[in-house]
Amino acid sequence: MAKLGFDLPSLITYLVNFLILLAILYVFVYKRVLAMLDARSQRIKEAVEEAERVKRESARAQEEMQRQVEQARRESQAILEQARQMAERYREEERQRARQEVEATLERARKEIQAERDAAIEEVRRHFADLAIRAAERVLERSLDRDAHRHLVERVLEEAENLRRN
């Protein structure tokens, strides 16, 4: 081996030194490096699992939120429909109330018109009775011939006209 440039005792010394260094590194450094790599690998694995768990929880929370939004939408639609129905019912009640008020007003107006008509008829009857009495008084005051009769009727009609104007 000397021809190759190797010295056997030096080679053995180097080899023993290397094995001792390897043993020391294995005992003190390699185990720690492996433990550190295993710990790092474990942390990465846990982080990945945590990320997957958070992703699943996020998906569940998203689904729950979507269900709540849909539920809120349905409830708001129900509330709006109820409000529409209440407004329609209120409008119908107000229309009915207005109709009843109009009918009551019309009925009162009819009664007032009928009362005024009855009063006017009664007043005409009284005036006519007065006119008839005056005509009878005049007839009794004079004897009736045709011209006097015509003159009397015209005079009574004129008096009636004057009474109506007053």
Whether 3 is covered by a domain: the verdict is: no
The rounded percent of the chain whose pLDDT value lies above 70 is 88
- Residue 19 counted as domain residue: no
The mean pLDDT value for 59-63 works out to 95
Structural domains in the chain (count): 1
Look-up: residue for tokens 């768990």? Answer: 53
37 assigned to some structural domain: yes
Six-digit token string for 126: 């009284």
Residue 43 included in any domain: yes
159 falls in which pLDDT band (50, 70, 90)?
confident
Q: Is the dihedral of CA 57, 62, 63, 68 positive or negative?
A: positive
Examine the pLDDT at 142 and tell me if it is beyond 60. no
Residue 14 placed within a domain: no
**pLDDT value at position 81?**
95
Domain membership of residue 57 as a residue range: 25-165
pLDDT digits (tens, 9 = 90+) for 27-47: 888 878 888 889 999 999 999
Tell whether 136 is covered by a domain: yes
For residue 80, the model assigns a pLDDT of: 95
The answer to whether the CB of 94 falls within 8 A of the CB of 130 is no
